[in-house]
């Protein structure tokens, strides 16, 4: 109950701020903007207070106190125009939300339930296919942020500042302070953000396009994306063309056998296929491979979509039929309150999700160029928005982002054509064919849609394709695949264009016999790969932590200092860091390499210690180790480790004897 009151408090504060500053925004978008602003405040206000009080319960109380002052401040500078009530446009939008955002939110919540530490009867914890890897990183941040010094260090690489955007994860940490379990915290915050992302995209589409059919099609094109990869499973079904790990998508004869492979094989769904070089299918389904496992994207889009809405509403209103826009034109120019709010919100993005900040900056630059060419006025408004965002973003970039990027040679390099030119070794597919088969029919619809002199489509495209150009030519992080976090924002905008053109064509076919068949065939091409990907995630089930792991994590939480340091092997499934939130000498390269760190020295030290526990006490002193962890991964690497008993005091043995914890001079 405390957590619900806490959430309601922030969302109410967010709504009051929107209500006072933007009363001419329609009711449903106003409610959504208020909820999103409340989430942003829940992420940032405890963090700001943490600079003085650490990331503690006290910081959360200070954050609430400061947040309570924001609505009165907004009231002092309020827009005194009449508040818009329920309108016919809200009825149209409400139906679109009912038909799209609501079922997608239910789907997302169900997937979160089965993918975020679902308990089994034997006490083990289970996840889905897409959360078997990245979820552990997020859990380690969430659990280690409790009472952490601020700014925090990596709990899986102590001594280095946590520069990965952590505010979406610390958002869940807040609910640990409020009595939620770890599973409850990630489920509640994830479901809330799912609701705001799904509804937010529909609200954005409605603001720009205003037609219910276009809104609903755009939502489905974006969230059930997947491309044409499903056709491989239908090709030559009379003969088996592969085996496990080799042409596996076409393994087996008959469609039923191939469908079983898609549903139960490891990354065999045809959107993001495990054999990258075989079929070159890399256009991951948004729900399965982005929103569910990558919480920073979920939090990022929860804040990016309101910024896109305010940007398009503020600067694009004159192109989207401003006479019926959600914000009435100000005779003296663009409303300053909207610009200030937009600038502050945009400036808050870097430590929520840095790629979202970059994508918004690129889109805004493209829109500004288009606007300056078309109207040759309003530069001061763009300057105010951009300056505010830059002033607020720069400290975050200087404290967190730039030092990490500058400390590694893996960031910022020229790279053409994304993963189709992996490691710059040459194109695997023809340039256009790569995008046609990966993105599918919507990609083919974008170009003809832009041939029409439509100011709405061209304004959207001016921002979208600047994102595409940057993502196509520059690799922004060590993992080349991560540029998809930019490409998806491009597609977020272009799906609106494709949906608008698609519905226009479909309406022109009215009266043509076979129109329904054409529509059905198009839907198969649109959604088959994405639907198969979602179905695969829905049935996936993997044990990630055994009952002994859970037992061990509970012991660690109850009997060790929350800032204690453990030495363990670098396997990514680690109950010490993920479930108990304790610090480990070194986590896995699965994440650390792509965050710009070279871990070879720590790997060598860990290997040296476990190879000679009694003779290498110096390694424990080097890293300030308090406890030694011995589990199945350590034994798989170094044997039985039976000599550990003679060197260090045994503090804990799991019920099955598989896991042991030893003390050191610092831990006993």
Q: Which residue has the tokens 């933007």?
A: 22
What is the spatial distance between Cα 314 and Cα 381, in angstroms, rounded to a whole number? Answer: 10
Alpha helices by DSSP H, 69-166: 70-76, 88-96, 102-115, 134-144
pLDDT on residue 305: 98
Mean pLDDT of the chain: 93
pLDDT on residue 27: 96
pLDDT beyond 60 at 90: yes
Q: How confident is the model at residue 334 (pLDDT cuts 50, 70, 90)?
A: low
460-488 per-position pLDDT tens digit: 999 999 999 999 999 998 889 999 999 99
The strand ranges marked E within 243-293 are none
Q: Are 391 and 340 within 8 A, CB to CB?
A: no
Q: Where are the domains of the chain?
A: 2-128+163-209+294-407, 546-663
pLDDT beyond 60 at 323: no
Please list the residues that pair with 125 across neighbouring strands: 119, 545
pLDDT on residue 330: 40
Q: How confident is the model at residue 332 (pLDDT cuts 50, 70, 90)?
A: very low
Average pLDDT over residues 632-636: 93
Q: Are 334 and 385 within 8 A, CB to CB?
A: no
pTM exceeds 0.75 for this model = yes
pLDDT on residue 409: 60
Handedness of CA 435, 426, 487, 480 (dihedral sign): positive
Q: Are 150 and 144 within 8 A, CB to CB?
A: no
158: three-class secondary structure by DSSP: strand
Distance of CA 140 to the CA centre of its chain: 16
pLDDT beyond 60 at 331: no
368-412 per-position pLDDT tens digit: 999 999 887 778 899 999 999 999 999 999 999 888 776 666 677
Instruction: Please choose, from the candidates 580, 588, 667, the residue with its C-alpha nearest in 3D space to the C-alpha of residue 624.
Output: 667
356: three-class secondary structure by DSSP: helix
Instruction: Please choose, from the candidates 620, 260, 427, 267, the residue with its C-alpha nearest in 3D space to the C-alpha of residue 435.
Output: 427
Other residues' Cβ atoms within 10 Å of the Cβ of residue 466: 21
- Cis bond before residue 63 (omega within 30° of 0): no
Instruction: Please choose, from the candidates 110, 117, 37, the residue with its C-alpha nearest in 3D space to the C-alpha of residue 74.
Output: 37
pLDDT on residue 326: 44
pLDDT on residue 378: 79
DSSP 282-351: B---HIIIIITT-HHHHHHHHHHHHHHHHHHHHHSTTTS-GGG-SSPPPTTSS-HHHHHHHHHHHHT-TT
DSSP 571-608: -S--HHHHTS--EES---HHHHGGGT---HHHHHHHHH
What is the spatial distance between Cα 529 and Cα 527, in angstroms, rounded to a whole number? Answer: 6
Residues in Cβ contact with 449 at an 8 Å cutoff, skipping those fewer than 6 apart: 457, 497, 498, 500, 501
- Edge to edge, the sheet with strand 583-584 lists 583-584, 565-567, 627-630, 660-663, 650-653
The helix (run of H) or strand (run of E) holding residue 355 is: helix 354-375
Q: Are 356 and 349 within 8 A, CB to CB?
A: yes
**DSSP structure class, residue 272:** B
3-state secondary structure 470-484: HHHHEECCCCHHHHH
Put residue 479 in one of left, alpha, beta given phi > 0 → left and psi -120 to 50 → alpha: beta
What is the spatial distance between Cα 300 and Cα 288, in angstroms, rounded to a whole number? Answer: 16
Residues in Cβ contact with 261 at an 8 Å cutoff, skipping those fewer than 6 apart: 248, 249, 251, 252, 268
């Amino acid at each position: 109950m405390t957590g619900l009151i806490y959430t309601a408090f922030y969302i109410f504060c967010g709504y009051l701020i929107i209500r006072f500053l933007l009363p001419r925004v329609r009711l449903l978008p106003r409610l959504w903007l208020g909820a999103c602003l409340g989430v942003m405040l829940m992420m940032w206000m405890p963090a700001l207070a943490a600079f003085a009080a650490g990331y503690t319960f006290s910081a959360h109380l200070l954050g609430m106190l400061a947040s309570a002052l924001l609505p009165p401040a907004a009231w002092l500078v309020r827009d005194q125009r009449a508040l818009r009530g329920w309108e016919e446009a809200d009825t149209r939008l409400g139906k679109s939300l009912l038909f799209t955002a609501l079922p997608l939110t239910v789907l997302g919540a169900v997937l979160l339930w089965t993918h975020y530490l679902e308990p089994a009867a034997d006490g083990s914890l289970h996840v889905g296919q897409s959360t078997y890897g990245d979820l552990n990183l997020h859990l380690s941040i969430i659990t280690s942020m409790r009472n952490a010094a601020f700014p925090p260090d990596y709990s899986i690489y102590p001594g280095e500042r946590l520069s990965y955007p952590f505010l979406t994860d610390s958002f869940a940490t807040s609910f640990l302070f409020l009595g939620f379990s770890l599973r409850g915290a990630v489920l509640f915050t994830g479901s809330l953000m799912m609701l705001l992302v799904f509804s937010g995209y529909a609200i954005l589409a409605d603001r720009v396009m205003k037609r219910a059919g276009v809104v609903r099609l755009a939502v489905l094109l974006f969230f059930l994306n997947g491309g044409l990869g499903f056709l491989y499973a239908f090709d030559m079904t009379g003969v088996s063309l592969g085996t496990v790990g080799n042409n596996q998508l076409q393994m087996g004869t008959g469609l039923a056998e191939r469908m079983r492979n898609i549903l139960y094989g490891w990354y065999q769904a045809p959107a993001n296929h495990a054999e990258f070089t075989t079929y070159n299918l890399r256009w991951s389904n948004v729900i399965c491979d982005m929103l569910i496992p990558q919480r920073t994207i979920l939090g990022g889009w929860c804040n990016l979509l309101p910024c896109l809405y305010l940007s398009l509403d503020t600067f694009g209103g004159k192109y989207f039929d401003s006479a019926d826009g959600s914000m009435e034109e100000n005779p003296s120019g663009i409303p300053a309150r909207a610009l200030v709010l937009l600038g502050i919100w945009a400036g808050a993005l870097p430590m929520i999700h840095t790629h979202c900040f970059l994508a918004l900056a690129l889109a805004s630059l493209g829109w500004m160029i288009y606007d300056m060419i078309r109207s040759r006025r309003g530069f001061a408004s763009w300057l105010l928005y951009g300056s505010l965002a830059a002033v607020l973003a720069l400290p975050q970039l200087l404290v967190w982002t730039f030092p990490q990027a500058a400390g590694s040679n893996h960031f910022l390099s020229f790279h053409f054509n994304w993963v189709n030119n992996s490691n710059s070794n040459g194109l695997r597919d023809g340039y256009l064919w790569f995008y046609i088969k990966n993105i599918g029919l919507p990609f083919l619809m974008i170009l003809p849609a832009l041939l029409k002199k439509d100011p709405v489509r061209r304004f959207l495209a001016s921002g979208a394709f600047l994102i595409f150009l940057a993502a196509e030519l520059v690799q922004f992080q060590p993992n080349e695949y991560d540029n998809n976090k930019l490409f998806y924002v491009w597609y977020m905008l272009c799906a609106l264009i494709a949906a608008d053109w698609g519905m226009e064509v479909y309406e022109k076919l009215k009266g043509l016999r076979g129109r329904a068949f054409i529509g059905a065939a198009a839907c198969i091409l649109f959604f088959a790969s994405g639907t198969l990907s979602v179905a695969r995630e829905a049935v996936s089930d993997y044990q990630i932590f055994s009952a002994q792991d859970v037992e061990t994590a509970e012991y660690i939480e109850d009997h060790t200092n929350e800032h204690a340091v453990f030495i363990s092997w670098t396997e990514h499934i680690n109950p010490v860091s993920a479930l108990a939130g304790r610090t480990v000498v070194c986590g896995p390269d699965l994440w650390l390499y792509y965050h710009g760190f070279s871990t070879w020295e720590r790997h060598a030290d860990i290997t040296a210690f476990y190879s000679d526990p009694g003779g290498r006490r110096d390694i424990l002193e080097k890293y300030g180790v308090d406890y030694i962890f011995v589990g199945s991964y350590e034994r798989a690497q170094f044997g039985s480790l039976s000599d550990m008993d003679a060197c260090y005091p045994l503090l804990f043995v799991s019920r099955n004897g598989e896991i042991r914890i030893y003390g050191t001079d610092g831990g006993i």
